[in-house]
Amino acid sequence: MAKMGQVTQVTKQAPNIFAQIREEVNDFLNNYIVIVPGYSFHQYLTIKRINLYLNSKFEEQGDEGLYRNREKLFFNVVVPACEVATKMLNVDTKDIRLLPQDPKHYFSTYLLEKELKQWLKTSKLANLLNEIAEQAPRYGSVVIEKTKDGAKMVDLRKLILDPTVDNLKNSRFVTTISYMTPSELRLTGWDDVETAIERFGVTYGETAYEDRSGGVNLMRSSPYVKIYKRYGEVPKSWLDGGQSDEMVKALYIVAGAQEQQMDAEGKPTNEVGVVLFKSRWYKDWPFKDYHYNKIIGRWLGLGVVESLFDTQVRLNEIKNQKRISMELSSMHLFQTKDKQIVRNILTDLESGDLMLSANGIEPIVNEERNLAAFRDEEQSYIAHAQRLSFAYDAVSGESPAASTTATATINAQQQASSVFGFKRENYTNMLRDFFNDLVLPELIRDLTPEHIMRFTGTSQELQRLDEAAAEIYANDYTIKAILNGEVITTAAVELAKERAIKTYRNLGDNRFVKIKQAFYSDVEFEFDFNIGNEQLNPQAIAVNAQALLASYNPQAMQDPLFKVVYFKYAEALGISRAELELASQSAPPLAELGGLPPPEATPERSPLLANELLKVK
């Protein structure tokens, strides 16, 4: 028996996947969640309000009171703040670096990083990174879905999940809604596609998924079919038949989940939806989510727009009240006790007319005397919006007011840079997981076949490639000589390296490297992002580089102890040790030593390096 004050609720399992999806959608759209007593939250209504504010639209479009017969003006302060956050959060593909988990895989990782740059361009992932940086500050959260063609952004208006979880992977179900044309459906290879097209194809445009009203999106064209893709637990019997109530993870793709057959009295009698695809799902959901500001107790993060809800409301009130007030004060009104005087001096009088009034004619005093209060209130809320969003003038690129001191400008820049630096660090952590879990397998699969890689880079990078190729060439040369019974000395090995390097340098600025099949399959990689606080403060980089140059001593660098201390000092200043080591290897080549290696072991004098280059030992 339940105790006094307790509510006992027994939830019955839905009879089929269509009823399950309907229940989840209805709960998501119609129910609030309570974060703490006194604070209720509705995810979809919040997203709807964010979309309205981003497009300078009010939630209520009434014309009551002072606004009757006047269109209210929307003084948008959320869009500029979002633009500043996007600029500070943006990550470029050039910032992506690959770190080998095993030092012996350094060279192969280095080559893969070069190929990754080109692959990112063809996969259009750079556009996705820009889209994430743009949408995350607006909505507070973004969701990336892994697809067979790479990845795409999920429309939060058409995402159904448990709004109480901290991360999407913890949600009991995740459903996405999309609209597909008949031609797109036929290319999927799903079951019963024609039935779905016949039953649910509609010729009007896409609508918000909760919109069941008529008269909207009436641009008619080829049919759309509304598709529900649901990841979540279901009874095993739904997949395999039988009577098992065991809950298993599964993927369902259905059409018409919202439709039911009705009897004459309007009561549902039968399901008419179509299951296009169903299967067990053994992995994590193919999504990654990022939250701009995490709020405990709800999934949707706190974005810039939501944080400025109240500020936007008050600024709109101030601006519209000021507008009405100035409209009234611009009117010239007069008063008199004489009833015989003209009714309207604009229409009844001409310039030069003389009016006679025993009681006189006086102007009505209706000048606006509260402009200073309007101005103070407006500036107060604009400053409040900047504090909430850290979109100070010094960060947005606008010229600060003349009264703003240089110290205040620097402090605003440093404060915003620190805050956005922390947010971007969280963002890159999400991207690291996304790349390792979802992107890397596809990248390796695409690069598995044997192919030719065009290698370009700085002189230091080309030198590093030539030295690695020469090292491998010298090893093969040594092995072949030993098998032929020859005596190999250290000097002979170094001679082979130098001759190979000379040959490679004659190739110019390009290298064409033959990558053997499955070359990257046995290499363990880990993604990292070259993003740190030093990128947010160019002045600090310049000061640190100057300090490092002041302590540099070419002769002392020959001492191993000094070299170690020097590199440690560079790392402490935020300067890459790997880049310094690479630069230190750019010393002038040894004296030229004559002809090339023997013809039978000499690389071809063509842009394609020898096949031996990529035979990892």
- In this structure, the chain runs to a length of 617
Mean pLDDT of 306-310: 91
Closest CA to 585 of 456, 461, 499: 461
Mean pLDDT of 118-131: 78
Could you give the CA distance from residue 77 to residue 451 in angstroms, rounded to a whole number? 52
Q: Is the pLDDT of residue 558 over 70?
A: yes
User: Among all chains, which residue has been given the structure tokens 């002189």?
Assistant: 459
Closest CA to 308 of 293, 286, 328: 293
CA 374 to chain centre: 38
The domain segmentation of the chain, as residue ranges, is 17-55+141-302, 449-614
Kindly calculate the radius of gyration of the chain based on its CA atoms and give it in whole angstroms: 35
Q: Is the pLDDT of residue 85 over 50?
A: yes
State the burial class of residue 211 (Cβ atoms within 10 Å of its Cβ: 0-12, 13-18, 19+).
exposed
DSSP letter assigned to residue 604: P
DSSP E strand boundaries for 37-125: 39-41, 96-100
How much is the mean pLDDT over the chain?
Answer: 77
CB 227 within 8 A of CB 203: no
Q: What is the percent of the chain with per-residue pLDDT over 70, rounded to a whole number?
A: 76
Task: Report the b/e string of 221-260 with b at 16+ CB within 10 A.
Answer: eebbbbbbbbbbebbbebbeeeeeeeebebbbbbbbbbbb
The tens digit of pLDDT for each residue in 573-602 reads 766 666 666 666 654 443 333 334 444 444
Three-state SS letters, 476-531: HHHHHHHHCCCCCCHHHHHHHHHHHHHHHHCCCCCEEEEECCCCCCCCCEEEEECC
CB 511 within 8 A of CB 110: no
Higher pLDDT, 559 or 205: 559
* pLDDT value for 174: 96
Strand order in the sheet with 141-147: 150-153, 141-147, 287-291
User: Among all chains, which residue has been given the structure tokens 């259009």?
Assistant: 124
Question: Of the ranges 22-26, 232-236, 362-366, 410-414, which one carries the lowest mean pLDDT score?
Answer: 410-414
* pLDDT value for 1: 42
Q: Is the pLDDT of residue 192 over 90?
A: yes
Higher pLDDT, 29 or 600: 29
Mean pLDDT of 486-512: 82
Could you give the CA distance from residue 387 to residue 393 in angstroms, rounded to a whole number? 11
At CA 191, angle to CA 187 and CA 193, rounded to 5?
Answer: 60
pTM, 2 dp: 0.70
Q: Is the pLDDT of residue 46 over 90?
A: yes
CB 88 within 8 A of CB 420: yes
Q: What is the percent of the chain with per-residue pLDDT over 90, rounded to a whole number?
A: 24
Q: Is the pLDDT of residue 554 over 90?
A: no
Closest CA to 316 of 237, 382, 405: 382
> CB-based contacts of 413: which residues, under 8 Å, 6+ apart?
392, 394, 395
Mean pLDDT of 296-321: 90
The tens digit of pLDDT for each residue in 501-529 reads 888 887 777 777 777 777 777 666 665 65
* pLDDT value for 594: 38
Q: How many CB atoms lie within 10 A of CB 436?
A: 13
Q: Is the pLDDT of residue 497 over 90?
A: no
Could you give the CA distance from residue 231 to residue 156 in angstroms, rounded to a whole number? 16
Strand order in the sheet with 173-180: 159-161, 173-180, 225-235, 247-255, 274-280
Bridge partners, residue 227, by sequence:
178, 255
Question: Of the ranges 269-283, 287-301, 476-490, which one carries the lowest mean pLDDT score?
Answer: 476-490
Residue 108, classed as helix, strand or coil, is helix
* pLDDT value for 237: 92
CB 139 within 8 A of CB 305: yes
> CB-based contacts of 182: which residues, under 8 Å, 6+ apart?
197, 201, 222, 223, 225
Closest CA to 308 of 596, 85, 15, 154: 85
Mean pLDDT of 545-557: 76
* pLDDT value for 396: 55
The tens digit of pLDDT for each residue in 152-184 reads 899 999 999 999 999 999 999 999 999 999 999
CB 252 within 8 A of CB 14: no
* pLDDT value for 421: 66
Choose from 116-130, 248-262, 437-451, 556-570 the range with maximum mean pLDDT. 248-262
* pLDDT value for 255: 94
Q: What is the dihedral of CA 60, 65, 71, 77, to 10 degrees?
A: -60
Higher pLDDT, 1 or 131: 131
CB 519 within 8 A of CB 92: no
CB 511 within 8 A of CB 607: yes
